[in-house]
Structure 1
Amino acid sequence: MSVSSPVAPPDSIEQLLERTRTIAGLCFADLAEALGEPVPDDPRRAKGWLGQLLEQALGADATSLPEPDFRALGVELKSLPLNADGQPRESTYVCTVPMHDTHQLSWERSWLRLKLQRVLWVPVEADPDIPFDRRRIGTALLWSPTAEEETLLREDWEELMELICLGRWEELSARHGQYLQIRPKAAHSRVLTAAHDSDGNQCQTLPRGFYLRTRFTRRILDHHYART
Structure 2
Amino acid sequence: MNKPQPPESITHLMQRVDAIAGLTLGELAQQYQFKSPEHLLREKGWPGQLLEYVLGASAGSKPVPDFEHLGIELKSLPIDYQGRPLETTYVSVVPLTGLTGATWENSTVRKKLNHVLWLPVLAERDIQPVNRTIGHGFLWQPTEQQNALLKRDWEEQIELIALGRVEEISGHLGQVMQIRPKAANSRVTTDAIGPNGKLIKTLPRGFYLKTNFTQDILYNQFKA
Considering the TM-score relative to the shorter chain, is it more than 0.5?
A: yes
Instruction: Give matches, 1:73-222, under 5 Å.
Output: 73-222=70-219
Aligned partner of 1:6 in structure 2 is 3
Percent identity over paired residues:
50
Q: CA deviation at 1:35?
A: 1.1
Distance in 1 (alpha carbons) for counterparts of 2:128 and 2:96:
39
Q: What is the identity, as a one-letter code, of the residue corresponding to 2:114?
A: Q
Distance in 1 (alpha carbons) for counterparts of 2:184 and 2:40:
17
2:54 to 40, 53, 57: 57
SS in 2 for 1:189: coil
Aligned partner of 2:36 in structure 1 is 39
Q: CA deviation at 1:16?
A: 0.2
Q: CA deviation at 1:63?
A: 1.3
Distance in 2 (alpha carbons) for counterparts of 1:123 and 1:208:
25
Q: CA deviation at 1:170?
A: 1.9
Aligned partner of 2:21 in structure 1 is 24
1:184-228 CA deviation, whole Å, 9 max, x = no partner? 01111111101121210111111000000000000101111113x
CA contact (8 A) 2:63 2:92 kept: no
Size of the aligned set, in residue pairs, is 224
Q: What is the identity, as a one-letter code, of the residue corresponding to 1:197?
A: G
Q: What is the identity, as a one-letter code, of the residue corresponding to 2:46?
A: W
Cα RMSD (Å): 0.9
Distance in 2 (alpha carbons) for counterparts of 1:58 and 1:9:
7
SS in 2 for 1:109: coil
Distance in 2 (alpha carbons) for counterparts of 1:213 and 1:175:
10
Q: What is the identity, as a one-letter code, of the residue corresponding to 1:89?
A: L
Q: What is the identity, as a one-letter code, of the residue corresponding to 1:154?
A: K
Please report the TM-score for the alignment, with normalisation by the length of structure 2: 0.98
Structure 1 regions of 5+ residues with no counterpart?
A: none
Q: What is the identity, as a one-letter code, of the residue corresponding to 1:105?
A: A
Q: What is the identity, as a one-letter code, of the residue corresponding to 2:191?
A: A
Q: CA deviation at 1:144?
A: 0.5
Q: CA deviation at 1:21?
A: 0.4
Distance in 1 (alpha carbons) for counterparts of 2:2 and 2:113:
30
Q: What is the identity, as a one-letter code, of the residue corresponding to 2:138?
A: L
SS in 2 for 1:181: strand
1:102-121 CA deviation, whole Å, 9 max, x = no partner? 13101111111011000000
CA contact (8 A) 2:77 2:118 kept: yes
Q: What is the identity, as a one-letter code, of the residue corresponding to 2:76?
A: S
1:36-78 CA deviation, whole Å, 9 max, x = no partner? 0232112222111010100111011111222211011000000
